[in-house]
């Protein structure tokens, strides 16, 4: 009996891609995250809803390694973020308003970012832009992009290197109904490909359609819905 329990626990851990254990994050005495625990399996989509200031973005930044935790630990693919690795090894991120060089084209911005790692070709960058509904040959500077176009470009940046993990904070901001439909379809396609997705949205319909499990953040605490 005990052997079966041990094997079951081992099987559960082997399927876990992200493990967040009792994470607390404080800023100058203010608690942004309070004892957050969550396990995410590879190839599934997880949604977090909540009001502004509830802790969604802070949690995402901690998973990415952008912010150190005050207490607890976060493991991605078995490696502790902030101790064993600074950042997850295969991750695409869009958190808050995407920042780009305003006087360069969308294509040129992505080429510059891709050049930091040198993992992908020009054609792969062009393909990522097409997937989000942008023309890679458009000569318009990002400065003249609409909010929705900048949002699409931010998503293209997150997916262009074909990461295993995608972290998307309010990916539908600034999109019209056609844009929302396009990006929903893309996220569902990425999930079908086996990507692990952590998605934050204030729109409960986005979360319901796209995610396998749904959580809510309130006052830095995480609740399953």
Domains along the chain with CATH numbers: 15-90+164-224 (3.40.50.300)
Percent with pLDDT over 90 in the chain: 82
Residue 144 near residue 104 (C-beta atoms within 8 A): no
pLDDT tens for 98-128 read: 789 999 999 999 999 999 998 999 999 999 9
pLDDT tens for 166-225 read: 999 999 998 999 999 999 999 999 999 999 999 998 888 888 899 999 999 999 999 987
Residue 134 near residue 149 (C-beta atoms within 8 A): yes
User: Which ranges in 160-212 belong to alpha helices (H)?
Assistant: 177-192, 204-210
Residue 59 near residue 81 (C-beta atoms within 8 A): no
pLDDT tens for 12-46 read: 445 799 999 999 999 998 999 999 999 999 999 99
What is the Cα–Cα distance from 207 to 199, expressed in whole angstroms? 8
Task: Read off the pTM.
Answer: 0.89
What is the Cα–Cα distance from 111 to 55, expressed in whole angstroms? 32
Report how far Cα 6 is from the mean position of its chain's Cα atoms.
Answer: 32
What is the Cα–Cα distance from 68 to 76, expressed in whole angstroms? 14
């Amino acid at each position: 009996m005990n052997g079966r329990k041990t094997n079951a626990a081992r099987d559960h851990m082997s399927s876990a891609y992200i493990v967040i254990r009792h994470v607390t994050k404080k800023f100058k005495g203010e608690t942004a995250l309070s004892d957050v625990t969550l396990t995410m399996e590879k190839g599934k989509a997880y949604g977090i809803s909540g009001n502004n200031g509830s802790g969604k973005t802070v949690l995402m930044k901690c998973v990415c390694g952008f912010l150190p935790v005050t207490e607890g630990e976060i493991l991605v693919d078995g490696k502790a973020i902030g101790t064993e690795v600074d950042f997850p090894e295969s991750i695409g991120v869009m958190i808050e308003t995407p920042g780009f060089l305003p006087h360069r084209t969308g294509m040129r911005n992505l080429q510059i970012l891709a050049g930091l790692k040198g993992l992908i070709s020009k054609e792969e960058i062009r393909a990522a832009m097409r997937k989000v509904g942008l023309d890679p040959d458009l000569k318009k500077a990002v400065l003249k992009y609409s909010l929705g176009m900048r949002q699409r470009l931010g998503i293209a940046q997150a997916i262009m290197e074909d990461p295993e993990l995608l972290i998307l904070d309010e990916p539908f901001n600034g999109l019209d109904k056609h844009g929302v439909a396009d990006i929903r379809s893309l996220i569902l396609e990425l999930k079908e490909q086996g990507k692990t997705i952590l998605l934050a949205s204030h729109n409960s319909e986005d979360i319901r359609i796209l995610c396998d499990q749904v959580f809510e953040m309130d006052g830095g605490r995480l609740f399953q819905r």
